[in-house]
Amino acid sequence: MKKVLVLEDESNIRSFVVINLKRAGYETIEAGTGEEALEQLKHNPDIKVALLDIMLPGIDGFEVCRRIRASNSQIGIIMLTARTQEMDKVTGLMTGADDYVTKPFSPAELTARVDALYRRTGGAVVENADEIHQPPFLLNTRNRTLEKNGQRIKLTQVEYAIIKLFMDNPGKALSREDILDTVWGRDYFGELKIVDVNIRRLRIKIEDDPTNPTYINTVWGYGYKWGA
């Protein structure tokens, strides 16, 4: 059974989300506080996707996201928020979330986001080629890991998908739309800015100087190009 954690302190919203995810074939694990969510994750290590509300009693969704990412780079994380401010979306992504959904959202939109993220985290197909070597990077496509100068870099599944797209297309300028369609899927409902924030997060992880990137180069007004 495909397990999804639903962290939402408002019971009516949580029930709405749970009902629709169950209709889509998911087993839902519910939590009303951040502390409860972290405890549920300990007892259910096979959870592949977590929906995290931001505004919570006790520790908020941002902190829950940080704590999850400190020990688990594989789980997919979607932030649920009633806020529309740009900074909240960016903060959620920079703390390690893969996506965000702004309330109110339709059942179809939410299910599509979960489906897309679950495919990357739970249903990944093992690829035939084992390694892509572009010094100083080594991408192992069987284990879905990245090394730089022999040192492992922890990547989320979204970050892995972006890096693989770049390394499959060295020197080629990829538009934001290209990256969005390939990594998030053509049926993705979200905005192009999610690409930029994930690129920013990746640069922090892989660049010697993220403010002066060597590997992920910006193609102004278009997108990005891999320069390793």
Q: Is the pLDDT of residue 74 over 50?
A: yes
Looking at residue 33, what is its pLDDT? 97
Please say if the pLDDT value at position 126 is more than 50. Answer: no
Confidence check: pLDDT of 25 > 60:
yes
Residue type, 56: L
pLDDT for 142 equals 84
d(CA 143, CA 133): 14
Question: Average per-residue pLDDT in the chain?
Answer: 90
CA nearest neighbour of 83 among 107, 110, 53: 53
- What's the rounded Cα separation, in Å, for the pair 226 and 228? 6
What is the pTM for the complete model shown? 0.76
**pLDDT given at position 188:** 79
Q: Which residue blocks in 95-149 are alpha helix, DSSP H?
A: 107-121
- pLDDT of 122 above 60: no
**pLDDT reading at 127 higher than 60:** no
% of the chain with per-residue pLDDT over 70? 95
pLDDT tens string 150-205: 999 999 989 999 999 999 999 999 999 999 999 988 877 778 889 999 999 999 99
**Is the predicted pLDDT of residue 128 greater than 50, yes or no?**
no
User: Between vectors from CA 111 to CA 107 and to CA 112, what angle results, nearest 5°?
Assistant: 115
pLDDT at position 129 is 53
pLDDT: is 1 or 205 the higher one? 205
